[in-house]
Amino acid sequence: MILCLRSLALAATALACQPGGGADPGASADPDRMLASGMTARQVIEARALHFKDLGGSFKAVRDQLATASPNPSLVRLATQEVKYASDDLPGWFPAGTGPETGVEMRAFAEVWSDSEGFAEISTRFRESAAALHATAQDDDLDAARSQVRAVGEACKDCHDRYRAEED
Amino acid sequence: MRVWDLPTRAFHWALVSMSLFAWGSAELGELAWHRRAGLAILGLLVFRLYWGFAGSSTARFHHFIRGPRAVIVYARRLHLRNPAYHIGHNPLSGLGAVALLALLALQVALGLFAVDVDGLESGPLSHWVSFDVGRLAAETHEIVFGALAMLVTLHVSAIAFYAFYKRDNLLEAMLRGDRCVPETRTPAHLAPHWRVLPGLLLAGAAIWLIATVLGSA
Ligand code: HEM
């Protein structure tokens, strides 16, 4: 419902902006233009938000398990696998043309695309630390997992500090 | 004449210092200390809840939670430039005290379940809720902080208003416990000192329960 209302509101602003030629002259941005992937920018952005919500949930599941005295090993394996898959996919959630220039509400900064090297560097660090975390879980090495969780969390934080707005 | 008993004053100033500490530690990103401060405030609130039923008369809720009529009657005379010599809360400050305590309780409760976006920091009870609920708790925690900051500003301004406009020194009463009032006033009924003990036990039990039993599951 909230999503519905929000996209209605966004559609309304998009319509309202069209005749004037848009508020930002540098913006290339019709969020409903089809991208190479066959999805519109708006669809990619909404899917991205859902991917991140899932990632947040999976990573929380890992931490909650590891915080208990006797974590459930198969749950830890499963949840670390989800985080690992997400870390493999993450760069693909940010195709060109899905940044703030679309006018769609998001927290991603334009720097994700303008500083793509820095973004790729942190993405790689995330991918490597998430893979290492999953490996510790497959070995049932909980102590190693507990310290590796920290490294993954730092990757999330570093990227958010640089490329994501704290407030929306 | 005695207005605030020692436990109520100790509670107040411990609450002030822990609130400042919680605020500062959050600003500095020292979330481990922030969690400890939150638990300390939780303990203080549990004690105050107990003291509101078992403490001296001026600390008891039924003494200072007054109906809307009393509040309106009092508020109408707020502009008069004379001390009113209340033994304890006046109808308006009683309302303020309840609002502060309730908002603080809500704030602590939200903090217990809050989850940060990076998954590095979270409240001690956050494993009982989903990621979405935890994020909602964290975002509401920020909103309630804003409300609390406004209410505390109002609270401290009110004390200053009484001091400078009404020439009524409430601060001294909260510090030393006593204030000068006409002898005709009925004195507060003071609770015996031993009554503090069950309250301390309750507060300790609440902190222990959250920090160990419920907190690590
Ligand atoms: C320098 C700052 C402060 C001063 C000078 C101050 C002073 C006072 C005074 C004089 C009272 C008694 C009011 C009355 O006569 O009815 C009081 C009550 C109260 N104050 Fe403060 N206060 C301060 C900061 C705070 C802060 C930061 C908080 C909470 C975060 C707070 C929470 C309360 C509460 C809950 C009561 C009700 C007391 C009770 O019934 O237990 N105060 N304060």
CB contact, 8 Å: A147 with chain B? no
Return per-residue pLDDT of chain A as tens, 168 residues: 444 444 444 444 444 334 333 344 445 578 898 888 889 999 999 999 999 999 999 999 999 999 888 899 999 999 999 999 999 999 999 999 999 999 999 999 999 999 999 999 999 999 999 999 999 999 999 999 999 999 999 999 999 999 999 875
ipTM over 0.85: no
- Partner-chain contact A156 B115, CB within 8 Å: no
- B163, B170 Cβ separation under 8 angstroms: yes
Reading the block at residue B30, the tokens are 């020292």
Give dist(CA B8, CA B52) in Å, integer: 10
Please give the average per-residue pLDDT across B157-186, as a whole number. Answer: 90
Q: Which CATH class is domain B6-180+204-214?
A: mainly alpha
Question: What is the whole-number distance in angstroms between the Cα of residue B124 and the centre of ligand 1?
Answer: 28
**Where are chain A's structural domains?**
2-12+27-163
pLDDT at A28: 59
Residue B208 or residue A16, greater confidence: B208
Give the nearest partner residue to A68 out of B126, B132, B217, using CB atoms.
Answer: B217
Q: How many CB atoms lie within 10 A of CB A41?
A: 24
pLDDT at B180 over 70: yes
Sorted by sequence, the CB contacts under 8 Å of residue B142 that are 6+ apart come out as none
pLDDT at A24: 45
- A137, A83 Cβ separation under 8 angstroms: no
Reading the block at residue B174, the tokens are 């909260």
Whole-model pTM?
A: 0.87
Give dist(CA B211, CA B208) in Å, integer: 5
Nearest residue (by CA) to ligand 1, atom 14, is B89
Give the nearest partner residue to A60 out of B115, B216, B217, using CB atoms.
Answer: B115
- Partner-chain contact A150 B217, CB within 8 Å: no
Could you report the per-residue pLDDT of B54-98, keeping only the tens digit for each?
A: 999 999 999 999 999 999 999 999 988 887 778 899 999 999 999
- A84, A133 Cβ separation under 8 angstroms: yes
* CATH architecture entry for A2-12+27-163: Up-down Bundle (1.20)
CA B156 to chain CA mean position, Å: 13
Question: What is the whole-number distance in angstroms between the Cα of residue A3 and the centre of ligand 1?
Answer: 42
